[in-house]
Amino acid sequence: MASKDQLSPEMTRLADEVESHGIDADEVRWLREEVFADGVVSHDEAMLLFYLNEHTALGNDDSWYDFFVEALSSYFITQQEPVGYLSEEDAAFLVAEITHDGRIDAVSEFGLLVNVVYRSRACPESVVALTLEGVRETVLGSGGVLFGPKRRRAGVIDPPEVDVIRTVVFASGSGGGLTITRREAELLFELNTKTSDADNAPGWQTLFVQAVGHHLMFPDGAAEVPDREEAARRQAWLEERRGVGHFMKDFAKGLNRFISRGQVTPGWLKRHQRLAAVKRQGKEAPQEDVYARSSVDAEEAAWLIAQIKQDGALDDNERALLGHIRATATDIDVALEPLLSEAGE
């Protein structure tokens, strides 16, 4: 937890200016000018923002939320090299500041977590796990403070919840964009089971079916994202070879001319880029492309059966999921057939 004795003299002066009361709109504008004066957010300034959020958040102007999330997202995601990768050290700092009292207890903190996971190319599991736990606690808890004033009904998945859950589970930093991790799929099942009798938003069924279906049938849905160390190595390699920049520009211009003449279509190019990504991972290229794999194997079938049977009932959303699998999967393990039959598929 950021405390005043950890702040530099300059940051202490700024804190003294506003901590005795809530931060109004003029003070947010003033803080924004001070923090972004040199174009970057320093560690001292990050500490100041965490300190002010802890001591003044309840009485702050609404513009504080946007500034807090924007400035700290910039600090964690765009100012560290390589850009887009959250280091273990910064992740530990972020988690410690947010959970100093054992939980996420402010909408601004939750918004920061969601934005960091969404904007990063990859981030440590500790941050992803904390964000997912925030989603779980908010939907199933008492009041849902983390979604802000629009969050009204605990135990119900309303449209704002659907939007945030979709943002988190399909975020690049949580598993690779189109890849839905096992942890995320199990969270979706838990939310679905514990709100099965609630008046959930219609969009919840669509999200549940698409996300869990993607986890089962398209485990390689996104090209592998290199870890921070590998990204740094690649960036250094490129820095050493900046002299070839003019060649790459000429190559790009030539390629664009081919595309404009219809000799190479954007769809063709994207398909071959995906195939190249698969080959770089040492995998055999599929017949169509990286998204063509749509089977449910024995391990996945066993996992799905256990998830559906954990509450002893087959609800409408689970029936819709099974229907989606029947319609989409090219091959389904025989162990899933009894459930498919029960669902009328």
Cα 262 to chain centroid distance, Å, stands at: 36
Helix orientation angle between 43-56 and 63-73, rounded to the nearest 10 degrees: 150
91 burial type by CB count under 10 A (0-12 exposed, 13-18 middle, 19+ buried)? buried
* DSSP structural state of residue 282: T
Tell me if 128 sits within 8 A of 174, measured CB to CB: yes
Radius of gyration of the chain (CA): 24
Tell me what pLDDT residue 258 has: 40
CB neighbours of 267 closer than 8 A, spacing ≥ 6? none
Helical pair 202-217 and 182-194, crossing angle rounded to 10 deg: 150
| CB burial of residue 281 (10 Å; 0-12, 13-18, 19+) | exposed
pTM, two decimals, is 0.70
Look at residues 66, 153, 163, 83 and name the one whose alpha carbon lies nearest to residue 123. 83
- Residue 272: count of CB within 10 angstroms of its CB: 12
Rounded CA separation 44/34 (Å) = 12
Give me the pLDDT at residue 187, please. Answer: 92
DSSP element (H, E) containing 295? strand 295-296
Q: Report the pLDDT value the prediction gives residue 172, as an integer from 0 to 100.
A: 61
Please tell me the predicted confidence (pLDDT) of residue 148: 59
Distant-in-sequence, close-in-space partners of 197: CB < 8 Å, separation ≥ 6: none
Nearest to 228 by CA among 131, 95, 90: 90
Average pLDDT for consecutive 10-residue bins of the chain (345 residues)?
60 69 85 88 89 77 91 89 84 89 78 89 84 83 58 78 85 61 91 94 94 82 50 51 44 44 42 48 47 78 95 92 92 94 85
Cα separation, 256 vs 56, whole angstroms: 53
- d(CA 126, CA 90) in angstroms, rounded, equals 11
Q: Which of 163, 148, 160, 155 is closest to 111 using CA atoms?
A: 148
- Residue 122: which region, alpha, beta or left (left: phi > 0; alpha: psi -120 to 50)? beta
| Cβ contact 146:110 at 8 Å | yes
pLDDT value of position 175? 53
Reduced DSSP (H G I as helix, E B as strand, rest coil) percent helix, strand, coil of the chain, to 5: 65, 0, 35
